[in-house]
Amino acid sequence: MSDNSDDELMPDWIPYSHRPEWSDVTPLAQDDGPYPVVQIAYSEKFSEVYDYFRAILAANEKSERALKLTQDALQLNPANYTVWQYRREILKDLKKDLHMELEYLDNIIENNTKNYQVWHHRRVIVDQLNDPIRELPLTENVLKMDPKNYHAWQHRQYAIKKFNLYDDELAYVDRLITEDIRNNSAWNQRFFVLKHFGFTSEILGRELQYTTTRIKRVPNNESAWNFLRGLLSQCEGAIDQSSYVNDFCEELYESGGRFVFLLAFLIDLNERRYMQCEEESKKAEFYKKIEHMCTILSTDHDSIRQNYWQYMLQRIRSN
């Protein structure tokens, strides 16, 4: 960590060794042993802040100045789990207003959107407050910057599940999919919400229409095909819905569709039929379709995975 980067983070910083209120503390240097394998060249500012942090940690000091020290330490390294843990202990001992802590975290997360420790700390604070009012707006703002931010999606699902905030989520997800139909995270969130409500016949019918309409618009979109595969897994015993999926895929193929995801999906469909069918002539018909799809994928449409499609054909044949 360079001096320049530390100076930019804390331009008005005064060394702790120059602060009269810290004169009673003896900083505790990091002990890397007599023969460190790779000695990190910490800046003077970084070393001093963490030397004082180690001192208050060793003394188990829970005070306002210790809380401020954790803030400086986290500004220099927001991924330090020990500092976050100790900060939580101080907040508890001092009975601090945790809503203020969420405001502090808003700023930290804005600049550290993929930092696991920050998101974990926030979850603990939200649990203690038992108040999710800030969480959906926060994650929505983060997802505007990065629609596929894993940490933001995980935190959003946590808040929705814990506090039963499902009601408006489908509308939010639909907006994201409309903005970017290939947003796999938004499709995944849609499935997460649907699992909560349950895959009734009505929901399945609606979602199949929703998905196939978007596949027609952008046929070579893996996210939508994976979502359709997930819906199909919920159609066991729902003959109308299963038939709808079969008819849609076959019609798309007959109309000239030769997309990798369509062909792969047709292999799955015909394998299901092949495995469930007891009539030998029908089994042969399904196998012939599988063989054809595997062949054109391996030779024309997905030749880079030729060995995979040949393996798929052999595996199905052996069954």
**Residue 309 to residues 219, 291, 294, 313, Cα–Cα distance (Å):** 21, 9, 5, 6
Domain residue spans in the chain?
Answer: 270-319
Residue 2 pLDDT > 50, yes or no?
no
Residues 150-169 have a mean pLDDT of 98
Of all residues in the chain, what percent carry a pLDDT higher than 70?
93
Residue 263 pLDDT > 80, yes or no?
yes
Q: Residue 40 has what pLDDT?
A: 67
Q: Residue 8 has what pLDDT?
A: 66
Whole-model pTM: value is 0.89
Residues 96-109 pLDDT 10s? 999 999 999 999 99
**Residue 265 to residues 51, 157, 181, 186, 287, Cα–Cα distance (Å):** 59, 29, 19, 21, 14
Residues 127-151 have a mean pLDDT of 97
Q: Residue 241 has what pLDDT?
A: 85
pLDDT category of residue 9 using cuts at 50, 70 and 90: low
CA dihedral 170, 176, 182, 184 (to 10 degrees): -60
Residue 1 pLDDT > 50, yes or no?
no
In terms of phi and psi (left: phi > 0; alpha: psi -120 to 50; beta: otherwise), the region of 279 is beta
Residues 163-175 pLDDT 10s? 999 999 999 999 9
**Which residues does the annotation mark as catalytic?**
114
Residues 48-85 pLDDT 10s? 999 999 999 999 999 999 999 999 999 999 999 999 99
Q: How far apart are CA 310 and CA 34, in angstroms?
A: 58
- Per-residue tokens: 306: 């030729």
List the one residue out of 189, 231, 192 whose CA is nearest residue 210: 231
In terms of phi and psi (left: phi > 0; alpha: psi -120 to 50; beta: otherwise), the region of 60 is left
Q: Residue 285 has what pLDDT?
A: 93
